[in-house]
Amino acid sequence: MPDLYIQPSPGNPDGLIVPAQDLSEKFSRSSGPGGQGVNTTDSRVQLSLNIAESPAFTATQRARIRKNLSARLVDDVLTVDASEERSQHRNRTEARRRMAELLRTALMPPPPKRRATRPTRGSIERRLTAKKNRSSIKRARQRPGRED
């Protein structure tokens, strides 16, 4: 099993390589259609990485991954499943691609804070015009008054 390569990103300009020994793969039977081999082949792949024990990450990177992937981590272990393909090899490739993309986006720094600005004159006018149009549409829905 080859190492996992994470593409360069704003939070990780040089890219990152996670050693293959830090990854663990489990195989099981996939659900869904598959013909005669569906009950005999273990094509589903479950790829796991323990973030806390992997020497590939710095302390800052670990903290950023924990913060950004907190909903996906169970005891600091990130797990990705792949079972869409009928071939175990293709599912292994897809699981590795998904994990690399998850880690790449998790390592990105947060965007800069938005600086508060005043609305422009044009945006205020557009908003008020839209409100007037909407109120005239609603006014037109009312029953007409009695004409005596």
The reply to whether 124 falls in a domain is no
For 34-59, write each residue's pLDDT tens digit: 565 556 678 889 999 999 999 999 99
For 84-98, write each residue's pLDDT tens digit: 888 889 999 999 999
* Mean pLDDT across the chain: 88
**82 SS3 class:** strand
The reply to whether 83 falls in a domain is yes
Long-range Cβ contact pairs of 15-22 (< 8 A, separation 24 or more): 16/56, 16/57, 16/103, 16/107, 17/56, 18/49, 18/54, 18/56, 18/103, 19/54, 19/55, 19/56, 22/49, 22/50, 22/53, 22/54, 22/55, 22/56
pTM: 0.72
The reply to whether 145 falls in a domain is no
Range of the domain at 92: 4-106
Q: Are 65 and 57 in contact (CB under 8 A)?
A: yes
Q: Are 100 and 65 in contact (CB under 8 A)?
A: no
Q: Are 45 and 27 in contact (CB under 8 A)?
A: yes
Share of the chain above pLDDT 90, in %: 64
The reply to whether 125 falls in a domain is no
Task: Give the total number of structural domains in the chain.
Answer: 1
The reply to whether 67 falls in a domain is yes
17 has pLDDT over 70? yes
